[in-house]
Amino acid sequence: MILNIAAYLFTVIDDADALAQRLREQAAHAGLRGTMLVTPEGLNLFLAGDDAPLRSFLAWLRSDPRFAGLHAKESWSDVVPFARLKVKRKREIITFRREQASPLQAGLRAPVVAPQDLARWIAQGHDDAGKRLVLLDTRNRQEVAYGTFQGALTLPIDKFTDLPEALAPHRDALRDATVVSFCTGGIRCEKAALWLQHDGMDNVLQLDDGILGYFEQVGGLGYDGGCFVFDQRVALTPQLAAVATTGDANVQKVA
């Protein structure tokens, strides 16, 4: 079986170009495929390979104190769902182009809700203080088509940078709710929650580790369908099994 990991970490990287080269060399030596984004604000990784080499690569990466806290969400597949290894140098680990949308700028993370706590809120229909719960999907419409949380607020966007304008008409209606932003693995909902708090919405939380973390820790409670992933498996069930396959090696380019 092939181990697949999705991971990200916000951390200051002053040597992004040199680090990208080292990551490429180490991953190639381990026989890994996938995509790694290296930016001044941190790393975003989607990798697959044999179990032991991939875990050794992660151990090597975490030996750098900057990445000691990197948490990888795991799933398994029969074959490697990436065509090749790509290491990209970017400005952001997910493009948003908004100030105060990174914990490095804001000085702290947006408040989080753990998957187990969100599952309890979904089951009871409100948060622990009795406030109305609204789940905010920060992904694009192509991803949402594969599945989302039941009753979630979804937006007709094609890229993450469109979210602020698409959400604007809904903001007044959300003032009395506890809003939990979510995405595939946590990056977009973290950035969205931070930016929205900076922009005056103090009732926004982020789902820690995103949908994949929820599937890993809770399963599918309150979720309909699968979760789109950025590889040839296309989408995963709440049991983290592939629900579709494709030969399109460029599917991971969707943002």
Q: Which of 48, 183, 235, 240 is catalytic?
A: 183
Dihedral angle of Cα 202, 203, 206, 208, to the nearest 10 degrees? 110
Beta strands in 118-188 (DSSP E): 132-137, 147-149, 177-182
The answer to whether 227 is a known catalytic residue is no
* Residue 208 phi, psi dihedral angles, 5° rounding: -60, 125
d(CA 96, CA 83): 27
Closest by CA to 231, choosing from 213, 220, 216, 244, is 244
Cβ proximity of 239 and 219 under 8 Å: yes
Within a 10 A sphere around the Cβ of 240, how many other Cβ atoms? Answer: 20
Q: Which residues lie closer than 8 Å to 111 by C-beta, 6 or more apart?
A: 193, 205, 206
Catalytic amino acids? 183
